[in-house]
Amino acid sequence: MTDPTANGLIASVQALWGAAATSLIAAAAGRLVVHGAEVRAGRRALVGWHLVWELPTAVFMAFVGEAIGSYFDLSREVTTGIVAALSYLGPRGARDAIERALGRGKA
């Protein structure tokens, strides 16, 4: 029997909890990084009702990241990275990145 921890962190979490949980953990981590930056900048309190709104954003961005990974037939590790990056960007950041990539956004 092979050791699942020998394949890296993402493979270990997938072996322990499954791919869906891994994507949700990556999405939550991405949103928590944004929240931490907002707290440090003084724009948010450390704990409050605003954290409740981060959950649907994380789940939605996980769905989008999973769809992108499925469409391009990417590996689980790459898809998890896309989920984390999209969750960090959020819906507005992802829109801005796409517009900039297509040459329609602000330079």
**Contact by Cβ (8 Å): 44, 35:** yes
Does residue 85 carry a pLDDT above 90?
Answer: yes
- pTM here? 0.79
Give pLDDT tens digits for 22-41. 888 899 999 999 999 999 99
Mean pLDDT confidence for 41-70: 92
Give the model's confidence band at 63: pLDDT under 50 very low, under 70 low, under 90 confident, else very high: very high
Mean pLDDT confidence for 99-104: 88
Mean pLDDT confidence for 41-62: 91
pLDDT attached to residue 18 = 79
Residue 69: partners with Cβ closer than 8 Å, 6 or more residues away: 76, 78, 79, 82, 83
